[in-house]
């Protein structure tokens, strides 16, 4: 019998599902059991061509609609996502393995927020009037044209919406390629957008690995590439886009610092460290995986952290809403993370809790905390993308700022302290794009999201995203005669 997660077809192009079984088969494995629940086929060159031609052809009609009309479609799609949140969350859980307790509140709901927010902004996209004596200049905010979105596997619905919503609000069309690991959810986003009234072809989904992504990025018809992925992929995609002088948004990896001062509320700091390391089993780009704890509260912090992790983490069937900690997305990702745990032990970090594969089917790892981690250790330098928290000690504010910034990454950073003067002073000196004070990992659509340094270029969400999916035309208008030299 066909599994309920099996999509109607692999791709969504021109407002309908499209299949081409000549592409490489991509098995979809449910991470909680290891069972194959669906198969999709990577896009062939013919499918890539169909998607690009269709999206390019749809752009003029979509851009010609008023912003209010475009916004109405996006807001209708947001309503549909919310109405169908339960089914979409179940699908997200099948796609990623993340527990339903999480997907019910963080995935289709976050996608709906993006569609609602950018739908609301679409009618307000205006230019400026600049008076120049009698003459004047006006500016027009124009769409870029055909945009490509490429997703990572940790938030398949959210990423499809975070890229699609601002692109469409500005009058662009999109071809979106989900991660080959989680190909299911973006198809539903495309289906719902068209059900909400999007013109056929304005948002298309094609499946495939890096090769398909590469074909999309290098196509001369594409004006903009928005990637969510790792730093190595980001460097390749940015270079390929630059060769065609394309606009880019790069949402890449991190190794973010979370700094906890002696005066912090310990329970809140522990809560922040848990949210910053164990949500989605640690598979979150912005995670604060280097937890710097000032020496005065170190042992108190570690004791409460270990108690809360041991007593609170419920590993189990992700479809059971009592489960709050799911498996790694793939067996391969689990093995990568296991390798880092072994490195942590070998390099002398002190294991506080976890450290093992859980004794159950699927790719489950225990939430793991290392203490006495030093800056040179591999687990303190490389993005692990799994449930492994490194706790490092520090003495002074100046010292911790320098150590926090000593990384190629710059996605996020957090500070816990009761001294708000210090909180703002420290945040002001941290090299990171998305920061938190006495909190961690909040990502509302109203706030810009993105990194500095190797963690990325551009911003998603908020009004900032509009700037990254549109360009400004300026028009000088002379009201009098033209003076010329001859």
DSSP string for 395-417: --HHHHHHHHH-SS--SEEEEE-
Which tokens in the block code for residue 363? Answer: 């790719």
The residue (of 59 and 286) whose beta carbon lies closer to ligand L3577AWF is 286
Kindly state the smallest distance separating residue 444's Cβ from ligand NAD, in Å: 14
Token look-up 């020496």 returns 295
Strand-strand pairing, 388-394 and 290-294: parallel
Site for ligand L3577AWF contains 443 (CB under 6 A): yes
Residue 228 φ/ψ, nearest 5 degrees: -115, 120
| Residue 356 to residues 314, 330, 340, 406, 457, Cα–Cα distance (Å) | 15, 16, 11, 29, 36
**Considering 92, 116, 223, 251, which one is annotated as catalytic?**
251
Q: Do residues 133 and 464 lie in contact, with contact meaning Cβ atoms separated by under 8 Å?
A: no
Supply φ then ψ for residue 219, to 5 degrees: -70, 130
Nearest to ligand L3577AWF of 373, 445 (CB atom): 445
226: contact with ligand NAD by CB under 6 A: no
Say if residues 365 and 356 touch (Cβ distance below 8 Å).
yes
List binders of ligand L3577AWF among 259-298 (CB under 6 A): 284-286
Instruction: Categorise residue 392: left if φ over 0, alpha if ψ from -120 to 50, beta otherwise.
Output: beta
List the x/- string, 285-304, binding to ligand NAD by CB under 6 A.
Answer: x-------------------
Q: Does 441 bind ligand L3577AWF (CB under 6 A)?
A: yes
From 14-22, 109-117, 126-134, 151-159, span contacting ligand NAD (CB under 6 A): 151-159
Please list every residue from 177 through 216 that binds ligand NAD, using CB under 6 A. 177, 179-180, 209-210, 213-214
For position 334 contacting ligand NAD by CB under 6 A, the verdict is no
Q: Is 16 a catalytic residue?
A: no
What is the strand order of the sheet 129-132 is part of? 129-132, 135-143, 470-477
At closest approach, how far in Å is the CB of 159 from ligand L3577AWF? 8
How, if at all, do strands 247-251 and 222-228 pair?
parallel
Query: Is residue 171 within 8 Å of residue 186, measured between CB atoms?
Result: no
Query: Looking at 85, 89, 110, 154, which residue binds ligand NAD (CB under 6 A)?
Result: 154
CA neighbor of 202 nearest in space, from 23, 37, 327, 15: 15
What's the min distance (Å) between Cβ of 280 and ligand L3577AWF? 8
Work out what residue 88 binds among ligand NAD, ligand L3577AWF, none; the CB cut-off runs from 5 to 8 Å by kind: none
- CB 225, min distance to ligand NAD, A: 8
Residue 441 binds what, of ligand L3577AWF, ligand NAD, none (CB under 5 to 8 Å, by partner type)? Answer: ligand L3577AWF
Residues 144-203 touching ligand L3577AWF, rule: CB under 6 A, are 154-155, 158
Return the H-helix or E-strand segment holding 156.
helix 156-169
Paired sense of beta strands 388-394 and 368-371, if any: parallel
**Residue 387, binding choice from ligand L3577AWF, ligand NAD, none, Cβ under 5 to 8 Å by partner class:** none
Task: Give the per-residue contact string, 382-421, with ligand NAD (x = CB under 6 A; - = no).
Answer: -x-x-------------------------x----------
For ligand L3577AWF, the binding residues (CB under 6 A) are 154-155, 158, 284-286, 441, 443
């Amino acid at each position: 019998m066909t599994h309920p997660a099996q999509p109607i077809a692999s791709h969504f192009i021109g407002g309908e599902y499209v299949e081409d079984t000549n592409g490489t088969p991509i098995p979809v494995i449910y991470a909680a059991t290891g069972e194959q629940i669906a198969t999709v086929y990577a896009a062939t060159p013919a499918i890539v061509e169909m998607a690009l031609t269709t999206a390019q052809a749809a752009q003029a009609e979509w851009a010609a609609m008023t912003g209010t009309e475009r916004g109405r479609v996006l807001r209708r799609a947001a309503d549909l996502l919310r109405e169908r949140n339960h089914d979409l969350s179940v699908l997200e859980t099948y796609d990623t393995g993340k527990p339903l307790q999480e997907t019910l509140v963080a995935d289709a709901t976050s996608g709906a927020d993006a569609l609602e927010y950018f739908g609301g902004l679409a009618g307000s996209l205006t230019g400026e009037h600049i008076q120049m004596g009698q003459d004047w200049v006006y500016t027009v905010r124009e769409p870029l044209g055909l945009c490509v979105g490429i997703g990572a596997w940790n938030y398949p619905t959210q990423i499809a919406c975070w890229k699609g919503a601002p692109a469409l609000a500005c009058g662009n069309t999109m071809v979106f390629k989900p991660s080959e690991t989680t190909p299911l959810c973006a198809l539903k986003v495309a289906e719902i957008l068209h059900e909400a009234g999007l013109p056929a072809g304005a948002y298309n989904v094609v499946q495939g690995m890096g090769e398909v992504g590469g074909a999309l990025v290098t196509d001369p018809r594409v004006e903009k590439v928005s990637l969510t992925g790792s730093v190595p992929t980001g460097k390749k995609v940015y270079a390929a886009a630059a060769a065609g002088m394309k606009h880019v948004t790069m949402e890449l990896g991190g190794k973010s610092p979370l700094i906890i001062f002696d005066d912090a509320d310990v329970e809140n700091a522990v809560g922040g460290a848990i949210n910053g390391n164990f949500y989605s089993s640690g598979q979150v780009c912005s995670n604060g995986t280097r937890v710097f704890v000032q020496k005065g509260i170190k042992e108190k912090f570690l004791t409460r952290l270990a108690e809360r992790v041991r007593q609170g983490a419920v590993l189990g069937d992700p479809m059971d809403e009592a489960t709050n900690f799911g498996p790694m997305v793939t067996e391969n990702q689990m093995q990568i993370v296991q390798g880092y745990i072994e490195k942590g032990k070998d390099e002398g970090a002190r294991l506080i809790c976890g450290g093992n594969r859980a004794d159950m089917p699927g790719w489950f790892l225990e939430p793991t905390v290392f203490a006495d981690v030093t800056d040179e250790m591999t687990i303190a330098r490389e993005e692990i993308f799994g449930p492994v928290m490194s706790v490092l000690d520090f003495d002074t504010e100046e010292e911790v700022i320098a150590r926090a910034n000593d990384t190629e990454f710059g996605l996020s950073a957090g500070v816990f302290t009761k001294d708000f003067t210090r909180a703002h002073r420290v945040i002001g000196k941290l090299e990171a794009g998305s920061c938190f004070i006495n909190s961690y990992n909040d990502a509302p659509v109203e706030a810009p999201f993105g990194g500095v340094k190797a963690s990325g270029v551009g911003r998603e969400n908020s009004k900032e995203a509009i700037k990254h999916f549109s360009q400004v035309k300026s028009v000088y208008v002379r009201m009098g005669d033209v003076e010329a030299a001859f």
